[in-house]
Structure 1
């Protein structure tokens, strides 16, 4: 009898110890950015790297944006836009965006251009040169220390290149000669908001012919009365104690 009691005690101790260890190993989750009082980003992982989740309590949404390896953006981040949501990462090599209030997400990059304006001739900014990223009126604006402005298109698609549209025929001059080109609805290129381009490199590019890339702002729009955070916040020591 005493042996059985002792055995039961050992088993209970083992279960309790295993439960405590499992609890200690629970991956920490923290809010790293608030857009407003009901929309925010959560990071699940250690050392400020891991899975990224977007939550909108009014819409009842809790959606995984990236499953792993996301690291918080370090620059100034202002984001009053609601339909178009763009999230930069640590290295600013691209963005994860949603065009439907956060329900679905896709990765976007910088547009392919024949030359770059960054130090060394790069066509996208290095992390250490990024000053801020602002998303307002369903359009994103990334500003660098050198004053270069990378932005997404206006938030609509040119109806001429939508299915059934007439397409866009255009002329261009290269090396002193005039040529013609066409943007066909069957291959119109990226949809609105799905690529970023440095403003000064747009001239002479095919995108310049499409309506969503015309009449663009030439500087980051001023944002007033923003109630969200202006930087991401992350505790790298969370869950390590």
Structure 2
């Protein structure tokens, strides 16, 4: 037997297969079999007095288990994401959420054979049901190399109470914005990503070539440094970092935490 040191970066390895509906309400049948670990449930992120995220059935802090969204006011304890194809866990970067009452988004992180992905778990119905879509992609070495880890650790997720999700990979000097669609439709298409300045949107009904030409022309002519020109209502410019709203979690928490002493890392080695 040999005790392995827990690294400063919590990797929580995961397969990045496509995700359909991850979970439904309390008591839902698991979507796949996974080992059962006798690990104590722990709060890994507190939103406010009543709402928090717990981790359970995890091997140790390095390998994710089942994450639940909890709302004590509603007696709600719902599976938000669960281990899949080897692991899935909480986000090691920055996460801030200004929660509303209906729309929430919570990041998670996973690595497969080819790359690592930031996943956005989201709910449009007050936390009753959850789905997910992939966002920022990282090198497959993001769980191992110091320089690659840092790019993940420095990426920030901000979620506003009106359902906007801001993904800010600081090493890239721009950001992405998603908008939850205010309905109970739990498909990734419901995030309405077509509001970026160089995205013509479905309404223009462009062909593939015309669409590419339009986007390339917009990219060539866009301003990448301040001052930025005014935007149409509902649009945003991914280079205008100053336009990102400030977000503060009511609890003041900005990263997920996991106490390794509750389930220490002990692995057998031949």
Task: Pick the TM interval, shorter chain.
Answer: 0.5 to 0.7
Shift of 1:139: 1.1
Give the one of 117, 121, 145 matched to 1:96.
121
Give the one of 209, 230, 233 matched to 2:254.
230
**Paired residue for 2:74?**
59
Bigger RCO of structures 1 and 2 (CA < 8 A, at least 6 apart): 2
In the superposition, relative to structure 1, how do residues 77 and 197 fare at CA in structure 2: closer, same or farther (>3 Å)?
A: farther
Are 1:72 and 2:90 matched, yes or no?
Answer: yes
The TM-score normalised by the length of structure 1 is: 0.59
In the superposition, relative to structure 1, how do residues 225 and 80 fare at CA in structure 2: closer, same or farther (>3 Å)?
A: closer
Tell me the number of residue pairs that the alignment of Structure 1 and Structure 2 aligns.
167
In the superposition, relative to structure 1, how do residues 190 and 224 fare at CA in structure 2: closer, same or farther (>3 Å)?
A: closer
List runs of 5+ in structure 2 lacking aligned partners: 1-36, 110-115, 143-147, 206-231, 238-242, 266-270
Contact 2:107 2:121 in 1 (8 A): yes
Are 1:153 and 2:179 matched, yes or no?
Answer: yes
List runs of 5+ in structure 1 lacking aligned partners: 1-24, 111-123, 158-188
Give distance in 2, aligned partners of 1:29 and 1:155.
Answer: 32
The TM-score normalised by the length of structure 2 is: 0.53
Give distance in 1, aligned partners of 2:41 and 2:177.
Answer: 31
Are 1:135 and 2:159 matched, yes or no?
Answer: yes
Give the one of 202, 209, 231 matched to 1:206.
202
Contact 2:47 2:249 in 1 (8 A): no
In the superposition, relative to structure 1, how do residues 28 and 208 fare at CA in structure 2: closer, same or farther (>3 Å)?
A: farther
Give distance in 2, aligned partners of 1:93 and 1:151.
Answer: 14
Contact 1:154 1:216 in 2 (8 A): no
Shift of 1:147: 1.9
**Paired residue for 1:190?**
189
Shift of 1:224: 5.2
What is the root-mean-square deviation in Å for CA atoms of aligned residues? 3.1
User: Once the two structures are superposed, what CA deviation does each residue of 1:45-79 show, in whole Å capped at 9, x if it has no partner?
Assistant: 12221111110001110011123233121111101
Give distance in 2, aligned partners of 1:26 and 1:98.
Answer: 29
Are 1:144 and 2:169 matched, yes or no?
Answer: yes
In the superposition, relative to structure 1, how do residues 239 and 76 fare at CA in structure 2: closer, same or farther (>3 Å)?
A: same
In the superposition, relative to structure 1, how do residues 86 and 103 fare at CA in structure 2: closer, same or farther (>3 Å)?
A: same
Give distance in 2, aligned partners of 1:225 and 1:144.
Answer: 19
Are 1:28 and 2:47 matched, yes or no?
Answer: no
Task: Flag the structure with larger Rg.
Answer: 1
Give distance in 2, aligned partners of 1:227 and 1:138.
Answer: 19
Shift of 1:232: 0.7
